[in-house]
């Protein structure tokens, strides 16, 4: 069955061609990954399918009206006064609407509505839908289901939006960077869910292991054209390698012809015979091939940063906590000039705080952090850089510097560095206002490298960067002649760049593991969740949940809420205690409460499953 059909699509913004006579079909069972550099039209294609932007008159775009559609966008919109559960059921789906009304009646304590809607919930067996929603939210680490959404972070809102589209189980699902803001356990769980699902997928992701696990087709967008490849990401790379070899040979031959033809053209022959005209037309074709710049060709860049002494960054018994949440517990480590370290762990365990302490952007409670006199840090933050939108690309880089130095006495100008990071020379005078979000992130990266740092600190660099840019960045980092610290959940990127990983399990501990990050992810998270991630049966929303089970689930939820409230109250009181014996006594009470909370939570999860 055909789900999406696009024919004769042409889109152009100013001088930039987005799509050139595009034809595309998506059929039932397809799991398609869109691969392209930032600004090539991945998000625009989503907008075309969703009928959100005008298209040319000759184009034909049709979305099968007999299928259900789910869409995970980059910036989801919610009623900020709603809570996670009411937000997840805010949908046009009739079943979702009934559950949403029931949750609202509960909040308003409207007994008449509750009675009526309870009958509806029973009649259509919707209790299991609510239970499944709670399970998915729990998997995505959304625990405070009654808090208003304005208290949640942007990453948490993205996970709530992901939970909603997964719960809907639509026929056709469109996902824009679904692994952003997910920790490794969540990514592995999502891989399993999508892999076993029958849902037809169109998705954009920079996570190559994720693409490889999920996709059965790769659609690569390049210079307004989509090339289609059957198979997963590994198969795509194999086919692209063969294509590039053939194309390189063609270009080399064209360049030889180009040199000879150019000499002839410069003679400006006066006789314009048919044969001469034909040769001129042929010259134009040869020129276009000979001047072609393969978009995925990479330039090896071995950096030559400012000299880095033997003393880099030294942690001496450093401790840090927020209330009772211990982020670091007497941590000691001496970074070397050759260290390339990846930092992994669940959200909220202190990874970003760790690097902010190095940067002097966050304090610590005890111990010392010594920074070497020769250290020159380049910091790529999760936060988007604020630009003067009217400034041109080249100006944004040259205000940092004119030259970046490479090993062997070589150097790159600002324009050349921009070219190496996929900003073509002809587009470098484009105002920043015309860049996509991903292109702005790429520009920020160029500005950081232009400073010739000798210590690179990258906080989630793979978010919003395309695969081609990540390949170039990975090449740069792996050849970087200095220390590197990378926070990332992208297993492929870490495998390319780092020698070992710091794992933050929580409670202030850091485990140092040498070897591939992806192997550590698997051993650390997949084994712990193997029963749930691999052997778990597909979701069966039609399963009947007895009244007794519903009642038990509700009682457990009330108990969990009470224990969480007691723990919070006790933690608040402990902040103001000064007597050691009293602190120890309260800490014992706290541990008992936490153990009881864990027990009730395990019982609750068991019933949901």
Nearby residues of 361 by Cβ (< 8 Å), 6 or more positions away: none
Lowest mean pLDDT: which of 25-39, 325-339, 507-521, 527-541?
527-541
Q: Looking at the predicted structure, is the pLDDT value of residue 469 above 90?
A: no
Which pLDDT score, from 0 to 100, does residue 215 have?
93
Which pLDDT score, from 0 to 100, does residue 260 have?
65
Q: Looking at the predicted structure, is the pLDDT value of residue 533 above 50?
A: no
Q: Give this prediction's pTM.
A: 0.69
pLDDT tens, position by position, 208-240: 889 999 999 999 988 778 899 999 888 888 888
Q: Which residue has the tokens 């390049």?
A: 222
For the chain, give every domain's residue range: 78-170, 236-290, 313-526, 547-608
pLDDT tens, position by position, 379-402: 998 888 888 889 999 999 999 888
Nearby residues of 178 by Cβ (< 8 Å), 6 or more positions away: 72, 162, 190, 203, 205
Q: Contact at 8 Å (CB) between 443 and 396?
A: yes
Q: Contact at 8 Å (CB) between 511 and 502?
A: yes
Q: Looking at the predicted structure, is the pLDDT value of residue 405 above 60?
A: yes
pLDDT tens, position by position, 315-352: 999 999 888 888 999 999 999 988 999 998 887 788 88
Lowest mean pLDDT: which of 375-379, 580-584, 586-590?
580-584
Q: Looking at the predicted structure, is the pLDDT value of residue 604 above 60?
A: yes
Strands 313-322 and 325-334, by their bridges, are: antiparallel
> Rounded to an integer, what distance in angstroms lies between the CA atom of residue 59 and that of residue 63?
13
pLDDT tens, position by position, 80-90: 788 888 888 87
> Rounded to an integer, what distance in angstroms lies between the CA atom of residue 469 and that of residue 298?
10
> Residue 382, Cβ neighbours under 10 Å: how many?
16
How distant, in Å, are the alpha carbons of 185, 187, 396, 522, 571 from that of 533? Answer: 10, 11, 46, 12, 34
Is residue 166 packed enough to be buried (19+ CB in 10 Å), middle (13-18) or exposed (0-12)? buried
Q: What is the mean pLDDT of residues 494-510?
A: 87
For 313-526, which CATH class?
A: alpha beta
Which is more confident, 357 or 323? 357
pLDDT tens, position by position, 140-194: 988 888 888 888 888 888 999 999 999 988 999 999 989 988 887 888 889 889 9
Which is more confident, 572 or 489? 489
Percent of the chain with pLDDT over 70: 83
Q: Which residue has the tokens 């304090």?
A: 363
- Token digits of residue 554: 């509700």
> Rounded to an integer, what distance in angstroms lies between the CA atom of residue 335 and that of residue 461?
21
Q: Which residues of 319-350 are buried (b: 16+ CB within 10 A; e: fewer)?
A: ebeeeeebbbeebeeebebebbbbbbbbbbbb
Which pLDDT score, from 0 to 100, does residue 221 have?
87
Which pLDDT score, from 0 to 100, does residue 295 have?
47
> Which 8-state DSSP code applies to residue 583?
H
Q: Which residue has the tokens 């990954």?
A: 33
| Four-CA torsion 522, 523, 524, 527, nearest 10 degrees | 90
> Rounded to an integer, what distance in angstroms lies between the CA atom of residue 263 and that of residue 328?
69
Q: What is the mean pLDDT of residues 36-49?
A: 84
Please, what is the average pLDDT of the chain?
Answer: 81
């Amino acid at each position: 069955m055909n789900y999406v059909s696009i024919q004769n699509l042409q889109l152009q913004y100013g001088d930039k061609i987005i799509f050139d006579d595009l034809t595309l079909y998506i059929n039932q069972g397809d799991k398609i990954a869109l691969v392209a550099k930032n600004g090539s039209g991945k998000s625009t294609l989503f907008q075309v399918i969703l009928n959100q932007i005008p298209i040319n008159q000759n184009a034909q775009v049709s979305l099968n009206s007999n299928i259900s559609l789910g869409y995970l966008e980059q910036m989801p919109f919610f009623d900020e006064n709603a809570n996670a559960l009411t937000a997840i059921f805010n949908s046009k789906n009739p079943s979702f609407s009934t559950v949403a009304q029931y949750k609202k009646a509960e909040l308003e304590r409207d007994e008449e509505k509750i009675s009526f809607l309870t009958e509806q919930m029973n009649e259509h067996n919707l209790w299991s839908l609510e239970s499944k929603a709670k399970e998915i939210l729990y998997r995505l680490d959304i625990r405070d289901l009654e808090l208003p959404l304005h208290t949640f972070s942007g990453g948490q809102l993205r996970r709530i939006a992901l939970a909603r589209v997964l719960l809907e189980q639509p026929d056709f699902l469109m996902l824009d960077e679904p692994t952003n803001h997910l920790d490794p356990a969540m990514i592995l769980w999502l891989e399993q869910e999508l892999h076993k699902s029958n849902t037809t997928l169109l998705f954009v992701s920079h996570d190559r292991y994720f693409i490889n696990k999920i996709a059965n087709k790769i659609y690569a967008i390049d210079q307004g054209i989509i090339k289609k490849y059957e198979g997963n990401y590994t198969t795509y790379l194999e086919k692209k390698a063969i294509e590039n070899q053939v194309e390189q040979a063609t270009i080399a031959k064209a360049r030889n012809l180009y040199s000879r033809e150019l000499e002839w053209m410069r003679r400006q022959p006066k006789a314009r015979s048919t044969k001469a005209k034909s040769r001129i037309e042929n010259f134009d074709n040869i020129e276009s091939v000979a001047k072609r710049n393969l978009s995925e060709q990479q330039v090896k860049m071995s950096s030559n940063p400012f000299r880095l002494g033997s003393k880099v960054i030294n942690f001496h018994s450093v401790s840090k906590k927020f209330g009772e949440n211990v982020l670091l517990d007497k941590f000691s480590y001496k970074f070397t000039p050759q260290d390339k370290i990846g930092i992994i762990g669940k959200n909220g365990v202190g990874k970003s705080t760790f690097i902010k302490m190095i940067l002097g952007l966050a304090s610590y409670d005890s111990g010392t952090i010594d920074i070497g006199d020769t250290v020159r840090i380049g910091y790529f933050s999760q936060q988007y850089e604020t630009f003067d939108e009217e400034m041109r690309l080249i100006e944004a880089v040259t205000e940092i510097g004119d030259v970046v130095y490479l090993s062997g006495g070589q150097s790159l100008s600002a324009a050349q560095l921009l070219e190496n990071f996929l900003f073509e020379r002809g587009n470098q005078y484009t105002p920043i206002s015309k860049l996509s979000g991903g292109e702005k992130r790429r520009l920020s990266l160029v500005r950081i490298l232009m400073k010739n740092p000798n210590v690179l600190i990258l906080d989630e660099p793979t978010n919003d960067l395309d695969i081609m840019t990540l390949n170039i960045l990975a090449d740069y980092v792996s050849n970087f002649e200095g220390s590197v610290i990378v926070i990332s959940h992208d297993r492929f990127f870490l495998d390319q760049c780092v020698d070992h990983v710091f794992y933050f399990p929580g409670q202030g501990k850091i485990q140092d593991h040498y070897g591939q990050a992806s192997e550590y992810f698997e051993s650390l998270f997949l084994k712990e969740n193997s029963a749930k991630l691999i052997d778990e049966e597909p979701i069966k929303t039609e399963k009947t949940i007895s009244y007794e089970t519903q009642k038990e689930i509700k009682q457990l939820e009330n108990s969990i809420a009470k224990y969480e409230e007691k723990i919070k109250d006790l933690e608040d009181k402990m902040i103001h205690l000064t007597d050691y014996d009293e602190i120890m006594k309260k800490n014992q009470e706290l541990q008992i409460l936490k153990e009881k909370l864990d027990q009730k939570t395990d019982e609750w999860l068991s019933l949901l499953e």
